[in-house]
A = this chain, B = another copy of it.
Amino acid sequence: MAMQKIINEPKAFVDEMLEGVLLAHPESLRAAAPRVIVRAGGPRSGKVGIVTGGGSGHLPLFMGYVGFGLADGVAVGDVFASPSSEQILEATRAVDGGAGVLYLYGNYSGDVMNFDLAAELALAEGIETSTVLAGDDVASAPAGAEGRRRGVAGIAFLYKVAGARAESDGSLGEVDAVVQRAAAGLRSMGVALSPCVVPAAGRPTFSLPAGEMEIGMGIHGEPGVRRGALEPAHQIAEQLVDHIVADLPYKAGDEVAVLVNGLGATPREELYVLYRSVHAALAAAAITVRRTWVGEYATSLEMAGASVSVLRLDDELLGLLDAPCDSPFVVKR
């Protein structure tokens, strides 16, 4: 399998991508240091800063969530690899407006270690930080071991909640608390239909024969919970919703927001076919969908597949979801 990619030297992929982003969106984004991107406007004094980061290859994750009503800065790793603590520290310094900085990112041990290290270094410089991890993928560890779960597309809801609360001048503790509450009621699960190719590796991350699918696969191609024949959309939807609803558990009468996320190569049309059955499966569990996001919110290069995320709502969370946000990648009015 040759790489059907529009790239130059694989080694230059991340840096050239960043150059392109900065050329395309100079009014929105600027580089505070190599591979450290922040909002062009700089930190607003008194606002809690929000720093995120992770591997490249997941756009709009993570950089795409740097913008008004979202995060303030991002440390950009190599493809599917953690950024360094040095980059995270640079981002932290650049977005600090004196009210402390929230670290919001996915639960991967490389990222955790580097963010923790950066937090220690930031504190030594007098910048207080607080951390919320997205660990929404129910396929990655059983109930009772939630702390070990990896973060996937559901983090999009957390950025929205965190950013809106920070824009409305919440304190670091207040922002942290509402995002923790959101994270506690957030569950995701996905299905992969084809692998992707990391440019520097030049080979598919895994092999999946045509006609098969893998339920529960991670966004870097981490093995899932079950591989089998490709099933119709409605069966896929039912399984994903069953796992998600069984896990929290969501109760009849709950109101939720739903995200149907494409992993990269799956057409938007298919995401809506999937959502149709997700909606029905949730309705069957007497769970009401109040808000629906459908599209690419966290990808794995050109992987085919989709994930479903469900966020339990309360009035405050609904209000924060409805607040406007604006980045070159994610806009809500």
Contact = CB atoms under 8 A, between A and B. Distances in A.
Contacts of A276: 16-17, 19-20, 23
A23 B333 contact: no
B275 A23 contact: yes
Given A274-B20, A292-B23, A333-B333, A193 B268 contact: no
Interface in A183-229: 191, 193-194, 210-211, 213
Given A233-B6, A275-B24, A304 B304 contact: no
A156 to B, nearest CB: 14
B233 A274 contact: no
B194 A4 contact: yes
Interface in A259-313: 260, 264-276, 279, 292, 294-296, 299, 301-302, 304-306
B232 A7 contact: yes
A166 interface: no
Contacts of A6: 191, 193, 233, 236, 266, 270-271, 273-274, 305-306
Interface string A297-333: 0010110111000000000000000001010110111
A17 B292 CA distance: 15
A2 to B, nearest CB: 4
A331 B270 CA distance: 21
Contacts of A64: 268
A25 interface: yes
20 contacts: A4-B194, A4-B213, A6-B236, A6-B266, A6-B273, A6-B274, A6-B306, A9-B232, A17-B272, A19-B276, A20-B274, A20-B294, A23-B275, A23-B292, A24-B279, A265-B302, A265-B304, A267-B302, A268-B296, A269-B301
